[in-house]
């Protein structure tokens, strides 16, 4: 029986209102996909991981063919990136930018990749770069913009530059006093004018963890989203968390300089899980869940009510990132290197960061090397001169950032430390026997040395640049997948 017209009308209205609410409050969430790993997952596996978890936007740091090919037809919006070391070339003339856009944007857009932004450089004005990119960043943005215009893509693809939150500050600590950093004030206004003219967003990376890392007196609860014992009172507004305060410092800087309407994207926001006393899964979950729930509410920040457009940092741990900023740098992922979730997280908000929250979906079809680890020989002596040199060597080429005070493997004894370093090196080298010798003081084992929070990893099967495996090794891959699935059923270690 057909429903009465009135009832049908109401139903439509309800659906429309619900859809409008969804659009407002269930804004999707983006994520950064970095690729500085010794063993990257196949790009197609990562794209499936993004889809399974409902990430609808992804931010890349370059424009690798294999990754963009995997994103084709995925429905995921893409921000491609241009590394800082390419800025000088792009600034120098139109040809380089035309080539870059043709190869890395037009080709892929024509192929069904939903590219929305080009990020020209990555945090190029960081003080640690000593001004290296100050003269080239803006000209490079202009070149890329001109190239996109020539390619007929300027309406669809916007040019921006992700900047560290250190490009703005407040002399009083109150967000409403926010302004751009004095040494780059003029340059910032030039860039913001460009963003306003082209309808592109200001992309800012916001890191409460770094604030805490740099200042031991930073109030821990002010980093999270559950109220603070040290809120910042700014006129009629009380800031209970540093994210809102930081974001609104940027809003104030834009307003002060006559750009109240430039949109803002939070290019990176997150919390690492290892490599520092304050980097652990509990804090990371508390921060990320608090953040996701905060933005899912749709309330925005005091100076910018409404949806917040943000990209979590990051998707997967990267064992080859520089640890110059700190040992935590390789542990920002909400997933481990192999696409296994680290902690429960509800991307649509709702979880409170302590108890509830839904579980992330793990990567599917991941294949591992054999269940073999490298450890220090029980008969070897810590007094052996070879130990120190071997550990330095292993840790120089592999990843030992889970060792140290209050890290996941901080509780190991001295022999455990040595074994951890040896295994890390052995796995990076695809379990090559020659990588588990160390002049006779190391040996392989099939007994998992992992203990408590300390995971002795088994690497995943290597793939060429994280792109799909060659056809010849696919059969072996399928066998390994079956074997790995079997191992997982029997020993749910990971």
Ligand X SMILES: *[C@@H]1O[C@H](CO)[C@@H](O)[C@H](O)[C@H]1NC(C)=O
Binding-site residue total for ligand X (CB under 6 A)?
Answer: 22
> In angstroms, what is the minimal distance from the CB of 142 to ligand X?
16
Establish whether 268 is a catalytic residue. Answer: yes
For residues 109 and 67, the answer to whether their CB atoms sit within 8 Å is no
> In angstroms, what is the minimal distance from the CB of 367 to ligand X?
26
* Contacts of the segment 411-415: beta carbons below 8 A, 24+ positions apart: 411/451, 411/452, 411/453, 411/454, 412/451, 412/454, 414/382, 415/376, 415/382
Which string of x and - marks every residue 365-404 that binds ligand X (by CB under 6 A)?
--------------------------------------xx
Which string of x and - marks every residue 98-137 that binds ligand X (by CB under 6 A)?
-xx--xx------------------------xxxx--x--
> In angstroms, what is the minimal distance from the CB of 368 to ligand X?
26
> In angstroms, what is the minimal distance from the CB of 182 to ligand X?
17
DSSP state of 412: -
Cα–Cα distance, 226 to 287 (Å, whole number): 10
By CB under 6 A, what part of segment 410-449 binds ligand X? 413-414, 417
Collect all residues with Cβ–Cβ distance below 8 Å to 436 and sequence separation of at least 6: 374, 422, 426, 442, 443, 444
Collect all residues with Cβ–Cβ distance below 8 Å to 69 and sequence separation of at least 6: 43, 108, 111, 113, 467
CA proximity to 343, closest of 289, 292, 291 = 289
Which string of x and - marks every residue 71-100 that binds ligand X (by CB under 6 A)?
----------------------------xx
Q: Is 77 helix (H, G, I), strand (E, B) or coil?
A: strand
Which of these ranges, 38-46, 57-65, 241-249, 448-456, lies near ligand X under the rule CB under 6 A? 57-65
Closest to ligand X by CB, 129 or 486: 129
Q: What burial class does residue 330 get, using C-beta atoms within 10 Å of its C-beta: 0-12 exposed, 13-18 middle, 19+ buried?
A: buried
> In angstroms, what is the minimal distance from the CB of 415 to ligand X?
8
Residue nearest ligand X, Cβ-based: 355
Which of these is catalytic: 27, 64, 123, 318? 123
Residue 64 binds to ligand X (criterion: CB under 6 A): yes
Which of these is catalytic: 27, 268, 318, 329? 268
For residues 298 and 258, the answer to whether their CB atoms sit within 8 Å is no
By CB under 6 A, what part of segment 259-278 binds ligand X? 260-261
For residues 31 and 59, the answer to whether their CB atoms sit within 8 Å is yes
Q: Hey, which residues does 429 pair with through a beta bridge?
A: none
> In angstroms, what is the minimal distance from the CB of 329 to ligand X?
16
Residue 62 binds to ligand X (criterion: CB under 6 A): yes
Which string of x and - marks every residue 212-251 that binds ligand X (by CB under 6 A)?
----------------------------------------
Which of these ranges, 113-121, 142-150, 351-359, 426-434, lies near ligand X under the rule CB under 6 A? 351-359
H or E element at residue 268: strand 264-269
Collect all residues with Cβ–Cβ distance below 8 Å to 218 and sequence separation of at least 6: 211, 212
Query: Do the strands 373-376 and 442-445 form a parallel or antiparallel pair, or are they unpaired?
Result: antiparallel
| The only residue of 235, 355, 378, 452 in contact with ligand X, by rule CB under 6 A | 355
| Length in residues, the chain | 494
Q: Give the residue numbers annotated as catalytic, written as ranges.
A: 123, 268
Q: Binding residues for ligand X, per CB under 6 A? A: 62-64, 99-100, 103-104, 129-132, 135, 260-261, 352, 355-356, 403-404, 413-414, 417
């Amino acid at each position: 029986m057909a429903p009465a017209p009135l009832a049908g009308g109401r139903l439509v209205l309800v659906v429309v209102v619900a859809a409008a609410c969804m659009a407002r409050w269930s804004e999707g969430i983006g994520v950064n996909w970095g690729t500085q790993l010794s063993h990257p997952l196949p790009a197609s596996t990562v794209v499936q991981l993004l889809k399974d978890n409902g990430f609808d936007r992804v931010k890349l740091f370059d424009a690798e063919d294999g990754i963009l090919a995997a994103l084709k037809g995925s429905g995921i919006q893409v921000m491609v990136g241009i590394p800082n070391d390419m800025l000088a070339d792009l600034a120098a003339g139109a040809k380089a930018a035309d080539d870059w856009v043709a190869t890395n944007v037009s080709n892929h857009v024509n192929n069904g990749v939903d590219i929305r932004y080009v990020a020209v450089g990555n945090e190029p004005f960081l003080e640690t770069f000593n001004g290296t990119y100050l003269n080239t960043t803006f000209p490079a943005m202009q070149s890329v913009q001109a190239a996109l215009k020539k390619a007929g893509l300027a309406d669809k693809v916007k040019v921006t530059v992700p900047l560290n939150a250190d490009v703005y500050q407040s002399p009083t600590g109150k967000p409403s006093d926010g302004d751009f950093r004095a040494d780059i004030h003029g340059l910032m206004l030039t860039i913001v004018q460009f963003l306003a003219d082209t309808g592109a967003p200001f992309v800012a990376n916001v890191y409460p963890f770094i604030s805490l890392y740099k200042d031991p007196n930073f109030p821990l609860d002010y980093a999270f989203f559950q109220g603070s014992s040290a809120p910042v009172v700014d006129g009629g507004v009380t800031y209970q968390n540093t994210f809102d305060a930081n974001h609104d410092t940027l809003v104030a800087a834009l307003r002060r300089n006559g750009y109240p309407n430039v949109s803002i994207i939070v290019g990176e926001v997150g919390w690492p899980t290892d490599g520092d006393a304050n980097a652990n899964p509990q804090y990371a979950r508390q921060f990320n869940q608090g953040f996701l729930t905060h933005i899912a509410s749709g309330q925005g920040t005091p100076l910018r009510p409404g949806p917040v457009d943000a990209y979590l940092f990051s998707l997967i741990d990267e064992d080859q990132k520089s640890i110059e900023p700190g040992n935590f740098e390789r542990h920002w992922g909400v997933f481990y290197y192999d696409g296994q979730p680290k902690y429960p997280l509800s991307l649509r908000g709702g979880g409170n960061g302590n108890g509830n929250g839904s579980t992330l979906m793990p990567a599917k079809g991941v294949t591992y090397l054999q269940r073999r680890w490298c450890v220090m020989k029980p008969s070897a002596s810590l007094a052996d001169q070879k130990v120190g040199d071997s550990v330095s060597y292993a840790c120089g080429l592999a990843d030992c950032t889970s060792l140290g005070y209050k890290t996941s493997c901080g509780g190991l004894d001295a022999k455990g430390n040595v074994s951890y370093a040896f295994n890390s090196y052995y796995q990076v080298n695809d379990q090559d026997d020659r990588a588990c010798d160390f002049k006779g003081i190391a040996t392989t084992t099939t007994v998992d040395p992992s203990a408590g929070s300390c995971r002795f990893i088994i690497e995943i099967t290597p793939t060429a640049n994280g792109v799909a495996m060659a056809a010849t090794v696919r059969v072996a891959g399928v066998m390994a997948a079956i074997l790995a699935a079997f191992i997982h059923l029997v020993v749910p270690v990971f």
